[in-house]
Amino acid sequence: MGSPKHDVTNFLSYRGYASGIMLKSVVLRCKFFVSIFSCFLLLKSNMSLIRISKALSACGASSRREAEKLIAHGLVKVNGVTINTPVFFVKDEDEISVAGKVLSKNINVKLWKYFKPKGVITSHKDPLKRTTLFEILPSSIGRVISVGRLDYNTEGLILLTNSGNLARTLELPSTKIERVYLCKAHGKMPTKMPEALAAGVTIDSIKYAPIFIEITKQHNTKAWYKVTLSEGKNREIRRVFERFDLQVTRLIRTSYGKFSIGSMKERDLIEIDNQEFNEYTSCKLNL
């Protein structure tokens, strides 16, 4: 056995060593919780940041796709500084301007029905110099965005809005909003065509969601079809009809969700009642 003095010294040394370990453990835990809290604050601050293209769309300045073109041409500024990349995030308090005009973030969202004529392209500009939809709209409507598109030779209902977010929501396939068309086609419809389209078909590696068709009028090899779909891919109806050896000679969109063309005539423009589309978007789309 050691001397009492030696035992006391050893005990004090062990006690000091243990205290040191405990102190280091406490310090490490504190650093860990400080790190977690810092990450939480950083995440919370970033939650208020949105991509510049989304901000432009929300202000009704452009669609998200068009926003990239505006940025590429050096027309977009944030707090007076020109933005040269679409990978840029902004806060609510940031001032955004396009072509020298400061954007208002509190817009009165509006929605219109328009009867698009045949021979008009749904675009702001066309390299082939064809007539564009936005050239023929009344100037009083202001800057608007189309909800999806209609082909050059397709006529009928197209929705217009000053809200990029609303346009994006209404055109997304995930919302499953039904589009109804009247389609005039030449040729004899194969017996299995309705069943095949209802199950969904794939053409040139492009998969089309279910399409529902029914003949409403027929004379010899010419017939009118009611076509209902929920996607609206590029030239979708024309492509699937061609697959079954039917040639589309006229295509008219008659409704988009609950909004129909009714008795509208070519180039008619009707503003939809604010309460009407608000009730529709809140109930149907859970906005």
How far apart, in Å, are the Cα atoms of 157 and each of 7, 64, 118, 142, 175?
96, 23, 11, 19, 19
Q: Are strands 222-229 and 179-186 parallel, antiparallel or unpaired?
A: antiparallel
Quick check: helix, strand or coil at residue 113? strand
**Per-residue CA distances from 61 to 47, 85, 245, 248, 281 (Å):** 23, 17, 43, 36, 21
Neighbouring C-alpha atoms within 13 Å toward the C-beta of 252: 16
Query: Are 137 and 114 spatial neighbours (Cβ–Cβ below 8 Å)?
Result: yes
Amino acid at 184: K
Contact at 8 Å (CB) between 256 and 239? Answer: no
> Of 94, 151, 204, 268, which one is the catalytic site residue?
151
Q: 245 catalytic, yes or no?
A: no
State phi, psi for 28 to the nearest 5 degrees. Answer: -60, -40
Q: What's the distance, CA 177 to chain centroid?
A: 13
Report DSSP letters for 22-67, one per residue: HHHHHHHHHHHHHHHHHHHHHHHHHTT-EEHHHHHHHTTS--HHHH
Torsions phi, psi for 76 (to 5 deg): -110, 130
| CB-CB contact of 267 with 138 (8 Å) | no
Task: Give the active site residues.
Answer: 151
